[in-house]
Amino acid sequence: MVCGLLGHPGRRDLTLALYLGVGMGLWFSIGFVRPAAFEDARSLLAIHSWGDALFYFGYVAIVASALRNEFFFRGYVQKLLTLEYGLPWGTFFSLIFFWVSMSWIGWVHVMVFFVPLGVVSALLFNRRGSLYGPIIFHALAFGLGFVGYALLELTPGGYAWYTMALLAIVLGGFRGMRVPLQILWRDLKAMVRGLESLWMRNGLTAVVLIAILVVLDQTAHRDLFAHTVFTLVFTVVFFGYKIRSRIYQLKRLLEG
């Protein structure tokens, strides 16, 4: 299994990922209308033509965002930390890494978009240990959001029809997705309840972790290159940590 990608999610899981991707894409698209919430993002995205929109949809949404982030933060970081700290705390720690690494684009943007996006991706990954669902969800959320932003900038009338079409899909599909959504909500509540165990020790670890990550993040320039370097540095750190853990486990096995 390569970072969980080769797992076998059920048809319902993939359908749920598609549905939630449309819903998050609608939220992202609507968010661009509110400069106060998405000011940082709008200042970074320069969509002046359909060629720009195709670049953001085809490369940024799918390759630079969905594939890279889901492989690293879900398939590697979350998988490793859940083995180390258990499902609730491991998932929470992996989300801290994800949210802080995205703070280069602005904390308001993180709160209104990346917090729900990260939580849903983490829950989808925890269901089957497969990256298919999180990647589909993440790519759709960004891709549909970028299409909405392109329409907003280039064809305002088309943007109105586009958002109404997405809303119709979300409302029309809610009845069929009600049970999977209830299961996902149950999983979220179970994860939150799980944070009550060892909350003092792990809570202190979380505070220290956030402080260190924020300091590291603030030292970097706020651009896509710095974000990529930030991710690569933690990839190296986690590989080193994983190798060290395996050596320690092997040493204990040999001594036993």
Handedness of CA 223, 227, 229, 230 (dihedral sign): positive
List, for residues 174-190, the tens digit of each pLDDT value: 999 999 999 999 999 99
| pLDDT band for position 211 (cuts 50, 70, 90) | confident
pLDDT at residue 7, as a whole number? 59
What is the DSSP-derived secondary structure letter of residue 77? Answer: I
pLDDT (0 to 100) of residue 2: 45
Stretch 122-149: mean pLDDT: 91
Per domain, the residue ranges of the chain are 11-255
> How sure is the predictor about 133, in pLDDT bands with cuts at 50, 70 and 90?
very high
Q: What is the pLDDT of residue 210?
A: 77
Range of lowest pLDDT (48-52, 152-156, 217-221, 245-249):
217-221
